């Protein structure tokens, strides 16, 4: 069981480091608050845990045999993350009691701009995220495949991955929620959303054209 601490540290580093899912959580936390971002957090966490389980059960073998699956995942995931980038960029600023910050409701506003990412969208953002697959494959090869009791260690790794992934994404969402207190005007909120959207788009470009 001496491998559990390194397993935890590895999972924590992967979960807390900047990435598409965490950028979305930050933008959502700032625009909609921490509580309304929880569905995204849960969806992404469940999806990552399932990825770890699938890789541990041998799905990574199929990715090696059929590399076109990985390529398709890359393009589909990038398209979806660009859509999420659009959602962040067009998210409505938080309303406040100040008249200059108040945005009246309008039926002409894009519905995507009025709602935080859902549980399904969080799951898709994670499931279509190549980084999640690469990290899980590395973790399984390091801490599961080499163990005599591989099924037991896979179960432990799944539990750790779920817990740490939730903590990691929630931390970014909480950061966004706290930052929202500094965004006291509509202009600042819109600027912050655009910055988050550009960061997410840049991440997508690095996925598509990175080495």
Instruction: State pLDDT tens for residues 151-184.
Output: 899 999 999 999 999 999 999 999 999 988 787 6
Please compute, for residue 59, the number of CA atoms within 13 A of its CA located in the half-sphere on the CB side: 13
Q: What is the DSSP letter of 58?
A: T
Dihedral (Cα; 170, 172, 173, 177), 10-degree rounding: 130
**Which range marks the domain in which residue 9 is found?**
4-209
Coil, helix or strand for 114?
Answer: coil
Lowest mean pLDDT among 22-31, 120-129, 136-145, 166-175: 136-145
Scan for tokens 């600027």, then name that residue. Answer: 191
Q: What is the pTM of this model?
A: 0.80
**pLDDT of 104:** 40
Mean pLDDT, the chain, rounded, equals 83
The count of domains in the chain is 1
Structure token digits, residue 87: 């959602």
- Backbone φ/ψ region at 15: left (φ over 0), alpha (ψ -120 to 50), beta: alpha
Q: Does residue 184 contact residue 100 with C-beta atoms inside 8 Å?
A: no
């Amino acid at each position: 069981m001496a491998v559990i601490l390194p397993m935890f540290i590895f999972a924590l580093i992967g979960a807390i480091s900047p990435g598409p899912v965490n950028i979305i959580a930050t933008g959502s936390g700032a625009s909609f608050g921490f509580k309304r971002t929880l569905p995204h957090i849960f969806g992404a966490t469940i999806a990552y845990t399932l990825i770890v389980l699938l890789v541990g059960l041998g799905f990574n073998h199929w990715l090696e045999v059929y590399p076109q699956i990985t390529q398709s995942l890359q393009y589909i995931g990038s398209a979806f993350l660009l859509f999420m980038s659009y959602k962040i960029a067009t998210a409505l600023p938080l309303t406040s009691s100040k008249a200059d910050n108040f945005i009246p409701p309008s039926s002409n506003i894009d519905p995507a701009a009025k709602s935080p990412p859902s549980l399904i969208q969080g799951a898709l953002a994670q499931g279509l995220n190549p980084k999640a697959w690469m990290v899980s494959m590395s973790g399984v090869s390091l801490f599961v495949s080499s163990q005599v009791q591989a099924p037991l260690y896979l179960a432990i790794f799944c539990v750790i991955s779920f817990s740490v992934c939730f903590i990691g994404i929630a931390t970014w969402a909480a950061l966004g929620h706290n930052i929202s207190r500094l965004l006291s005007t509509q202009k600042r909120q819109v600027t912050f959303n655009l910055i988050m959207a550009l960061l997410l788009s840049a991440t997508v470009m690095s996925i598509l054209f990175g080495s």
